[in-house]
Amino acid sequence: MHSSTEGTTNGTSNGTAQHNIPNSCPSCPAPLKYSGSLDHLRYFEITPIIGREYPDVKVTDILNAPNAEEQIRDVAVIISERGVVFFRDQDNLNIADQKKFCDLLGKLSGRPEDHGLHVHPIYRDPGNLTLPDGTTDENIYVINSEAQKKIYKTMARRAPTEPRDLSREWHSDSTFENAPSDFSFLKMEETPPHGGDTLWCSGYEIYDRMSPSYRSYLETLTATCAQPVFKSAAEAGKYEVMSPRGSPLNIGDDFAPSHPVVRTNRITGWKAIFAGVGLHVTKINDVYSYEDQMIREYVMRLITRNHDCIARMKWTKNAAAIWNNSCVWHAATPDTHLVNGNRTGVRASSIGETPYLDPNSKSRREALGIPIV
Ligand SMILES: [Fe+2]
């Protein structure tokens, strides 16, 4: 039996960390089970492997339910099992309630007590967009492709003579932090008639598609997740990066933590590939440069050659997606320049635990008894 379901904390509390990878979250509870409190809601799965949509549920109804805590904890479990959950027509959801819901997802599912919502490092950048009412909120990241271009002007320009490599879009939110995000909640306020889809890929399933010996090898590795653009943007704009950012662990302007390549999700107790690939992953540690390249290319190859591991959201006005960054990567589709219409959204993120790998945890397929092939 899974050891972490037997104790009161998550992970191998009596073991010692190997390869500088934490093997537990001492303050986190044992993995959670769905209680059934959402059984009255209509839903469908996006694919057999990843994603669920609740087509006619208002997030505010869950937030204001008499058993709200039980329902929100169950939403956290469902998101962590399915990777990402979609909602439509959240026209009555204001910023305060979006923040509250996202915060409670983390809090009620066992996030460390002194963690909260992420604060974007360059919230002070004068190029940042305001919310539709003209205000700003340090816990809300406003998504807009035009603003993105202005803020990241310190980044190198792409060569205009070649088609873009969109594989670079895959990432997990705030992996540049010592304690990265567990839940991210994105609501799209405006969207063009088509274009701008977001994709999520299951890190659980990518782990399950590797051979047992290769999985074991990756479990010994960590990756540096450096994102120097925040420091350089802050220096260019003559302002300080925000600190702390949703956790006493997320301070300063280094933005170069090491995270395990394979990680245990604290809520399901399942293993997923985590820091093996992505926009914020700079290098696999303690291997030669060609090995680093091979490992990351292999993970990316599995993502791009296994589209049955991917859920895709065609956004509609006021649609929302909430995902668990510790078991899925996501990628935006930068094609909105081809159509008329704005694409604007607002995102809140909760900050989870320091990533760890419980060596006794299972893969998703092992835990659910699904054959690997
Ligand atoms: Fe993201």
Instruction: Give distance in angstroms: CA of 360 to centre of ligand 1.
Output: 30
Dist. CA 365–CA 74, nearest whole Å: 21
Instruction: Give distance in angstroms: CA of 143 to centre of ligand 1.
Output: 10
Instruction: Give distance in angstroms: CA of 369 to centre of ligand 1.
Output: 31
Dist. CA 249–CA 246, nearest whole Å: 8
Instruction: Give distance in angstroms: CA of 172 to centre of ligand 1.
Output: 6
pLDDT in tens, 196-250: 999 999 999 999 999 999 999 999 999 999 999 999 999 999 999 999 999 999 9
Burial of 131 (0-12, 13-18, 19+ CB in 10 A): middle
Confidence of residue 160 (pLDDT cuts 50, 70, 90): low
pLDDT in tens, 284-330: 999 999 999 999 999 999 999 999 999 999 999 999 999 999 999 99
Strand partners, 25: 10
Residue 278 has a pLDDT of: 83
Instruction: Give distance in angstroms: CA of 348 to centre of ligand 1.
Output: 11
Instruction: Give distance in angstroms: CA of 238 to centre of ligand 1.
Output: 25
Instruction: Give distance in angstroms: CA of 78 to centre of ligand 1.
Output: 20
Instruction: Give distance in angstroms: CA of 105 to centre of ligand 1.
Output: 18
- The stretches of 109-228 forming alpha helices (DSSP H) are 145-151, 203-208, 212-218
Closest by Cα among 260, 178, 273 to 222: 260
Q: Please, how many CA atoms are within 13 Å of residue 268, restricted to the half-sphere of its CB?
A: 27
List the Cα angle 325/244/176 in 5-degree steps.
40
Instruction: Give distance in angstroms: CA of 366 to centre of ligand 1.
Output: 29
List the Cα angle 241/246/251 in 5-degree steps.
45
The one-character DSSP state at 123 is T
Instruction: Give distance in angstroms: CA of 173 to centre of ligand 1.
Output: 5
pLDDT in tens, 3-32: 344 445 677 655 456 778 999 999 999 999
